[in-house]
């Protein structure tokens, strides 16, 4: 990367998308970042920072000379700026909030007060508003004056004198209507996608996806308009929620990335492995309880991985479907029991089929039909249990308010391992010995 | 659901979002769907069908009386209509293509010719175009005439006489400029997000996310404008790609949903379980090779799940990070080797830590320090291998053109199981017996 920095020139950096420069910068240390950003004009720097992870962007801003940091924090979209303030050390935050202009400081304090994962935390406060009594031409002149300040205008929100939301007109509506038409005569009053500031960001994303909206207005408890969430914020949320789910499910950190510092990612994975060590030892002690039987019949030890592996995978299949269904809101209340029974049935059916295949194969290899009976019975029971557990565990965790992606796989693997070892070795000792 | 259908009335259905009605319909059988759709006016039916899975929507349309089906296929957005045609039985497709008007039929045949996962397959052909010599007011009058036909206008694409793309003006540009300004004087000529018809939909989604675009124009090999992909299509793609990745990774069908018919979802899971049975039997036969040693020391069988479980999870952690990094394009060419070495190192570090914990615990429980030595050495080696394999397998599959999510977990679990059983039992027989 050292070499990379030297080879860069300002022209090439400007021609590259801010996202790409941002992900390149995320991999440099603080000195490297400063060196690269020195090559880039202020305007381009703000686009790059807004594409970077807020944590990395905060590191960059904290390392800048104060006047430049202040200038950048004022220039950035307020939602991006607030994310960066959120990630700063408390001392740096207070110092810089004291230096930016009063308006920015007030907006920042407001935005920081909302949780970062709520509509209030991801919204922009740069919105165009108008009154219902304005005409198209008045509105156009009004937003032409705002133009410089507003990065994305899709909609003009129509509000009353207390800033309560009455309706919306799109840029397209303005183009389509005569210059003297009043907004009140053609504005859309029936706003389907309005969010409260405290709505969870995943719900906001789901709402916008379902209603195919470009942007949704955000209101406070008194229905006063405070901001707007745009489609590009939502796309980022959907991407990162999916990444979190997939990584948590497999026992890695939800926000871990491939280029994170090595020791940071080791530290994040260790606790999960320690929990896994405990559950694996419990499973091992179930096996240990059958020490005598295994000594007499070591074939039991050889068949254990087959029963445990297949029931683990049956549970994992169900778990994956359930995690996504819960995330996308496809399971409705009162359906939990039905879903568990269906998944248990799917496990049973595949257990009969796979169990029979395994039993025939093992029987043919060992010449011992009684082992086949044990394998078949154990696999049917274990896979039936695994299907049920793969649905029950995430549904229950979700109901109790835990993140179903984070902890389901630990409990699932532990329960399918323990159940399959106990059933297989129990049946084995009873039938074979 | 029978009861549900009777309790519905047309008013309530119209007040519900098309997405919600669509997901409700997906769960009914064909008769139930017809019954519900009979209650709904044509215009609302098209919105509902466009929110449904194309496969389900095709079932509904095929079950309709022909005149109504024809009317709906003509009314739908061409991209949605083409998706439905794509999912029909060949005979139904040809019959209905013969009945719709010539223009729709021609558009459909063109759209069907593109792969469903390409820019051409997801684009809409309903776009607004203008010439560079037109003024703002001429353009506004032109799109006012088109208005009824075009569902979403964000942009007017500026093209030459051969329909080659020259630039773009947004609705906002039209609002911001004087009525007599020429498009050529203010249009954006430097179009960053232009897609070729054959670009993969995931690439289109990534492009739009990186550049924060609402819509991108789609051109053919001669740079002629043929359509446009809009942000709502992309959000759907991002959602469904994430679902596919997570479900494939855990060995379920990429497009399986929680409410799919039971036997369909069993059938889809069975092949993966059969492959898993083969790999589990290979792992079992490694254990079987140590039958004599296990008979003499059954504690080995009890410790096997610990070594295999921990190395499996170490590999899974790495795999999850890699799958998302590959999907999001975060790994650049030439970095593969570095990534594998880093992940191997992370596995090694956690192997030292977790291996030591396991060795101390097992030593204390059994009072046999030699078992501790075997456990520690085997876990360090197995977890180091697992970290490397968790990165190497998806990177290699991706390089060979396979979907890294689909098959990685099979190969990973098989290789970590086999390696850990072989190393642990091998070391155990050598040191302990």
Q: Domain with A300 in it: what CATH number?
A: 1.10.357.20
Whether residues A6 and A87 fall in one domain: yes
**What does the block give as tokens for A36?**
């690269």
**What does pLDDT average to over chain B?**
86
Query: Residues 130-169, chain B: which have Cβ within 8 Å of A?
Result: 140, 143-144, 147, 153-154
> Contact A301/B301, CB-based, under 8 Å?
yes
pLDDT at B263: 85
C-alpha distances out from residue A106 to A55, A74, A112, A125, A344, Å:
22, 12, 10, 12, 55
Residue reference for tokens 């030439």 = B334
Of A424, A428, A430, the closest CA to residue A308 belongs to A424
Residue B118 lies in a domain: no
Q: Are residues B385 and B300 in the same domain?
A: yes
Both A95 and A232 in a single domain? no
Q: A320 vs B276: CB contact, 8 Å cut-off?
A: no
CA–CA gap between residue A390 and residue A318 (Å, rounded) = 5
- Same-domain check for residues A315 and A426: yes
pLDDT at A151: 56
- Domain endpoint, select from A83, A113, A143: A113
pLDDT tens figures, A385-412? 999 999 999 999 888 888 888 778 878 9
| More confident site: B203 or A27 | B203
List A164's β-bridge partners, or say none. A224
Which CATH number do you get for residue A31? 1.10.220.30
Domain count, chain B: 3
In the listed set A51, A84, A113, which residue is the last one of a domain according to the structure? A113
B298 touching chain A per CB within 8 A? yes
The answer to whether residue A247 sits within a structural domain is: no
Q: Is residue A348 within 8 Å of A384, Cβ to Cβ?
A: yes
* Interface pTM, i.e. ipTM: 0.71
Same-domain status, B400 and B266: yes
Q: Which of residues B113, B144, B178 is at a domain's end?
A: B113
B346 to chain A, closest Cα gap in Å: 6
Question: Cβ–Cβ of B280/A19 closer than 8 Å?
Answer: no
Residue B381: is it exposed, middle or buried by C-beta count within 10 angstroms (0-12/13-18/19+)?
buried
Which residues partner with A227 through β-bridges? A218
Residue B135, classed as helix, strand or coil, is strand
Q: What is the pLDDT of residues A157-174, one digit of tens each?
A: 999 999 999 999 988 888
What percent of chain A stands above pLDDT 70?
95
Contacts of B209 in chain A (CB under 8 A): 19, 232, 235-236, 239
Strands (DSSP E) along A111-249, which ranges? 128-130, 155-159, 165-170, 195-196, 215-219, 225-230
Please check whether residue A267 lies inside any domain of the structure: yes
| Predicted pLDDT at A159 | 95
Mean pLDDT of B188-200: 88
Query: Does some domain include residue A33?
Result: yes
Range of the domain at A73: 2-113
B306 touches chain A (CB under 8 A): yes
Among the partner residues A19, A274, A342, nearest to B210 by beta-carbon distance: A19
Question: Quick check: B56 pLDDT over 90?
Answer: no
3-class secondary-structure state, position B115: coil
In this predicted model, what pLDDT tens digit does every residue of A100-112 receive, in sequence order? 998 888 888 888 8
B193 band by pLDDT with thresholds 50, 70 and 90: confident
- Same domain? For B291 and B392 the reply is yes
Which pLDDT does position B272 carry in this prediction? 87
Give the pLDDT of residue A382.
Answer: 97
Q: What SS3 state is found at A16?
A: coil
Confirm whether B419 is domain-assigned. yes
> What is the count of residue pairs from A and B with beta carbons less than 8 Å apart?
323
Instruction: State whether A57 and A103 are in the same domain.
Output: yes
On whether the CB atoms of residues A305 and B285 are closer than 8 A, the answer is: no
Listed in sequence order, the DSSP H helices in A27-101 are 30-38, 42-51, 54-63, 66-75, 78-87, 90-99
Strands (E), B194-318: 195-196, 215-219, 225-230
**Would residue B54 count as lying in a domain?**
yes
Quick check: is A150 in a domain?
yes
CA A21 to chain centre: 23
Put simply, whether A295 touches B (Cβ < 8 Å) is yes
Q: Which residues of B touch A304 (CB under 8 A)?
A: 284, 287, 301, 304-305
Which pLDDT belongs to residue A1? 41
Average pLDDT over residues B334-360: 93
Same domain, B105 and B134: no
Residues B399 and B316 in one domain: yes
C-alpha A113: how far from its chain's center? Answer: 21
**Considering only CB atoms, which chain A residues are within 8 Å of B310?**
273, 276-277, 280
Q: Which chain A residues are within 8 Å of B331, Cβ to Cβ? A: 258
- Please say whether the beta carbons of B432 and B371 come within 8 A: yes
Write the residue in B208, B302, B357 that is nearest to A288 by C-beta. Answer: B302
Same domain membership, residue B132 and residue B27: no
Chain B residue with minimum CA distance to A210: B19
Backbone φ and ψ of A196, nearest 5°: -80, 150
Inter-residue contact A166 to A158 (CB < 8 Å)? yes
The nearest alpha carbon in chain B to A296 belongs to B295
pLDDT tens-digit profile of A286-335? 999 999 999 988 889 999 999 999 999 999 989 988 888 888 777 877 88
CB-based contact, A299 to chain B, within 8 Å? yes
Per-residue pLDDT tens digits for A23-68:
777 777 777 887 787 778 777 888 888 878 788 888 888 888 888 8
Distance CA A420, CA A357 (A): 18
Residue B256 lies in a domain: no
- Residues of chain B in contact with residue A305, where contact means CB-CB under 8 angstroms, are 280, 283-284, 287, 304, 308, 417, 421
Vertex A341: Cα angle to A336 and A342 (nearest 5): 100
Chain A residues within an 8 Å CB radius of B232? 209, 212
A273 and A158 together in one domain: no
In chain B the first and final C-alpha atoms are separated, in Å, by: 65
Would you place residue A17 in the very low, low, confident or very high pLDDT band (cuts 50, 70, 90)? confident
* Residue A355: closest C-alpha in chain B: B277
Are A98 and A137 members of one domain? no
Q: Chain B contacts of A366, Cβ < 8 Å?
A: none
pLDDT score of A362: 92
């Amino acid at each position: 990367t050292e070499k990379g920095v030297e080879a860069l020139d300002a022209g090439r950096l400007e021609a590259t998308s801010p996202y790409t420069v941002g992900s390149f910068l995320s991999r440099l240390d603080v000195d490297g970042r400063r060196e690269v950003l020195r090559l880039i004009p202020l305007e381009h720097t703000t686009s790059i920072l807004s594409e970077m992870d807020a944590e990395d962007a905060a590191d960059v801003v904290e390392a800048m000379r104060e006047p430049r940091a202040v200038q950048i924090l004022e220039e950035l979209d307020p939602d991006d700026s607030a994310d960066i303030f959120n990630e700063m050390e408390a001392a740096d935050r207070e110092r810089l909030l004291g230096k930016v202009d009063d308006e920015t400081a007030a907006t920042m304090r407001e935005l920081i007060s909302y949780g970062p994962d709520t509509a209030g935390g991801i919204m922009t406060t740069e919105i165009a508003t108008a009154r219902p009594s304005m005409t198209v031409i008045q509105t156009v002149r009004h937003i032409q004056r705002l133009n410089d300040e507003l990065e994305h205008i899709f909609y003009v929100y129509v509000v009353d004198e207390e800033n309560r939301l009455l309706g919306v007109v799109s840029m397209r509506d303005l183009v389509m209507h005569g210059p003297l038409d009043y907004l009140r005569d053609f504005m859309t009053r029936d706003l389907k996608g309005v969010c409260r500031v405290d709505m969870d960001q995943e719900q906001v994303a789901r709402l916008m996806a379902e209603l195919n909206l470009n942007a949704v207005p955000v209101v406070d408890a008194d229905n006063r308009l405070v901001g707007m969430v745009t489609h590009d914020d939502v796309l980022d949320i959907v991407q990162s929620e999916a990444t979190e789910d997939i990584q948590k499910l497999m026992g890695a950190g939800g926000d871990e990335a491939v280029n994170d510092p090595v020791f940071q990612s080791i530290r994040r994975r260790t606790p999960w492995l320690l929990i896994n060590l405990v559950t694996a030892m419990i499973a091992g002690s179930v096996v240990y309880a059958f020490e005598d039987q295994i000594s007499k019949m070591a074939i039991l030890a050889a068949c254990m991985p087959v029963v445990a592996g297949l029931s683990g995978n049956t549970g994992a299949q169900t778990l994956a479907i359930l995690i996504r269904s819960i995330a996308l809101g496809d399971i409705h209340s009162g359906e939990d029991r039905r879903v568990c029974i269906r998944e248990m049935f799917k496990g049973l059916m595949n257990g009969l089929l796979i169990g029979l295949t395994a039993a025939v194969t093992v029987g043919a290899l060992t010449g011992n039909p009684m082992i086949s009976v044990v394998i078949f019975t154990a696999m049917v029971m274990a896979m039936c249990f695994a299907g049920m557990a793969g649905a029950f565990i995430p549904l229950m965790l979700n109901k109790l308010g835990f993140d179903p992606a984070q902890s389901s796989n630990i409990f699932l693997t532990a329960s399918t391992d323990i159940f399959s070892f106990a059933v297989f070795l129990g049946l084995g000792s009873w039938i074979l010995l």
